[in-house]
A and B are shown apart, each in its own frame.
Chain A
Amino acid sequence: MRIELQKRANTSMLFSLLSPLLALALTLIAGAIMFGLLGKSPLNSLYIYFVEPLLDVWSLHELAIKAAPLILIAVGLSVCFRSNNWNIGAEGQFTIGAITGSILPVLNPEWHSPLILPLMLVMGMIGGALYAGIPALLKTRFNTNEILTSLMLVYIAQLFLDWLVRGPWRDPQGYNFPQTKSFQPEAVLPEILDSGRAHLGIVFALIAAVALWFMMRFMLKGFQVSVLGQSERAGRFAGFSARRMVWFSMLLSGSLAGLAGISEVSGSIGHVQPVISPGYGFTAIIVAFLGRLNPLGIIASGFVLALTYLGGEAAQLSLGISDKVSRVFQGLILFFVLSCDTLIHYRIRLIVNPSAAQEGKS
């Protein structure tokens, strides 16, 4: 038996919409099998993992808190990936954004001005953008591979954060815990509803997603992104600069990752500590692909991936399964979505008897 691909004349609209759903269905099936192997009832486990977190107000707020950074980072990455720039160091840009955004409240804990929060957000965005500027500079100036440099910078950013909160930024009254003082109330991102913890971060994420959707759909810049991503040569003939696109996409995604970082620290943590992210920067890569690199699709996929984090916590509590299951789920989703995307461009034929097909050809 052999699998053969046949190029479609046009990309299939049907499968463009269907492929993410198909991927999710396959993930659920694989998940059911996995829970079965772990000796749990598959259906009950899936219910606890994927449905129960949606049933009370508290966890809906948690869902919004986790979806916010995922969507913010992923919409930025979608522009990068579409333009064929592989920024996979968003986790590092998130970390640096959190650090530069926190400079004001950490160094001026007594500054009680309404100005502080907007300044923090802007500084977080600048920090993230500058950090993403390093791989952009290295790519445009020295031709280095941005995948490897942006990833190496993640490790460096995390070590830098670790040094800061154990060294110069450590709260002297903090009983030797490696963390800064809690931010003053003016430096905390406000909650959006009275019913729970969800903060403005999710609003930023939705605004960014809609804005980038508009750019990709209706503006020349969006067209440049697609053309240069599909064929740099074609883009050059149209007078678009690939070099400038590297800068644009990296700085854009870096600033959004930075905004996500400072929003997370200011909105849901309230101080700076050695670990501020459960891998949002990497999970956002999955979010971007599950949303088919479309900002509106990414809103939906951001919530799906946020659910895998919550489900992981729920499964740990009520099933006694380690929360590492959620990492497995996330990996599986990306695998299935990439496989299902093949259906958009190709028809898949199963050829049962390859030797007969060979003879027919010759």
Chain B
Amino acid sequence: MFEAILLTVITASTPLVIAALGELVTERSGVLNLGVEGMMIMGAVAAFATAQLTGSAYLGILGGIIGGGIFSLLFGFLTLTLVANQVATGLALTILGLGLSGQLGEAFVGMPGVRLQPIVIPLLSDIPFFGRVLFSQDLIFYMSVALVFGISWFLFKSRAGLKMRAIGDSHGSAHALGINVVRTRYLAVLFGGACAGLAGAQLSLVYTPQWVENMTAGRGWIALALVVFASWRPLRVLAGGYLFGAVGIGQLHAQLLAQSGGIAIPSQLLSALPYVATIVVLIIISHNRRTTLINTPASLGKPFVPDR
């Protein structure tokens, strides 16, 4: 029983962790992309369509990554090349993504999906309890763990990561030092989009292997909140993602328990819990102005036009 719950928590948390990690990198470079929800749903529909047409869930993953990535370049072009307002453009990306995915996915509604099969790692998966929970998962879960440590290493141990953080904290100074601000930011936006696409692929290939309109259900926004919660640190994204995933799964189990026990808790109240939890967490994290100020990339959301 406990093991089964833990497995569902992992499945529910993985997309949050991946999408938030991508957004973390984008924001560390000083760009605020509010279009996570839109990129995620585009990834979900692209992954589902690719898997459906090729019959391979692995090509589906690739489709999701490419779908989210290409979609993020639209945001990059507007905010980085045309220096449009980042908040408004992010919203536009979400609105367009939700509409476009509904249109593209129309043909796939109600089709049984291609489920991504778990990869059982020999020996390690024989460890009692942990083996089943951690080493008999699907590829996307392994990728999420690799991303957490990979991004940690990149941001804090590599030269390119240092440059990226410098851009995020002061794009003017970074530009003066000869770092190509716009190119780096394009790459960061693209990476964020690819991650959101991968998170979407997880939803339509693993979490619920089918296509449902609006199937992201606000997860992109929760991922955005997670980045703030994690104060822009990858390891804390992992912890926060699992916290939010557990709240989501917890409320589902509470609904079932309430139903079977005949307790009259409105299901809507429990469904609202993840959103309430997000607000509560934001309050706890943000109320100390000084630590928020220290942690937030200083150039976040500010437009940059290279002077000549």
Q: Please report A residues at the B interface, Cβ cutoff 8 Å.
A: 3-5, 7, 81, 86, 88, 138, 142-145, 147-149, 151-153, 155-156, 159-160, 162-163, 167, 282, 285-286, 289, 322, 324-332, 334-335, 338-339, 341-342, 346, 348, 361
Contacts and interface: CB of A to CB of B under 8 A. Distances in A.
13 contacts: A3-B82, A142-B286, A153-B279, A159-B271, A162-B268, A285-B88, A286-B95, A324-B99, A326-B99, A329-B99, A335-B74, A335-B92, A348-B82
B218 A155 contact: yes
B269 interface: yes
Contacts of A324: 99, 102-103, 106
Most buried by A among B84, B87, B268: B268
A325 B103 contact: yes
A198 to B, nearest CB: 27
B287 A148 contact: no
A163 B266 contact: yes
A361 B268 CA distance: 62
Contacts of B221: 148, 151-152
Nearest to A333: B92
Interface in B226-272: 228, 266, 268-269, 271-272
Contacts of B295: none
6 nearest interchain CB pairs? A331-B96, A327-B99, A163-B268, A334-B92, A324-B102, A159-B268
B42 to A, nearest CB: 11
Contacts of B83: 5, 342, 346
B96 A334 contact: yes
A258 to B, nearest CB: 20
Contacts of A7: 305
B16 to A, nearest CB: 14
B98 interface: yes
Contacts of A159: 268-269, 271-272
A162 B103 CA distance: 26
A361 B276 CA distance: 54
A289 to B, nearest CB: 6
B283 A328 contact: no
Most buried by B among A153, A155, A162, A163: A155
A249 to B, nearest CB: 15
A147 B34 contact: yes
Given A286-B95, A328-B100, A328-B103, A86 B87 contact: yes
A114 to B, nearest CB: 35
Contacts, number: 132
Contacts of A361: 308
A189 B308 CA distance: 59
B102 A144 contact: no
B85 interface: yes
Interface string B265-300: 010110110011011001100110100100000000
Contacts of A151: 218, 221
B279 A339 contact: no
Nearest to B276: A156
Contact of B283 (A86, A144, A163, A322): A144
Nearest to B97: A331
Contacts of B276: 152, 156
B66 interface: no
Contact of A152 (B92, B95, B228, B279): B279
A327 B224 CA distance: 23
A331 B99 contact: yes
B283 A335 contact: no
Contacts of A346: 83, 305
Contacts of A86: 87
Contacts of A160: 268, 272
Contact of B278 (A152, A282, A285, A286): A152
Nearest to A38: B103
Contacts of B106: 322, 324
Contacts of B139: none
A155 B34 CA distance: 17
Contacts of B268: 159-160, 162-163
Contact of A327 (B89, B95, B266, B292): B95
A335 B272 CA distance: 31
A233 to B, nearest CB: 14
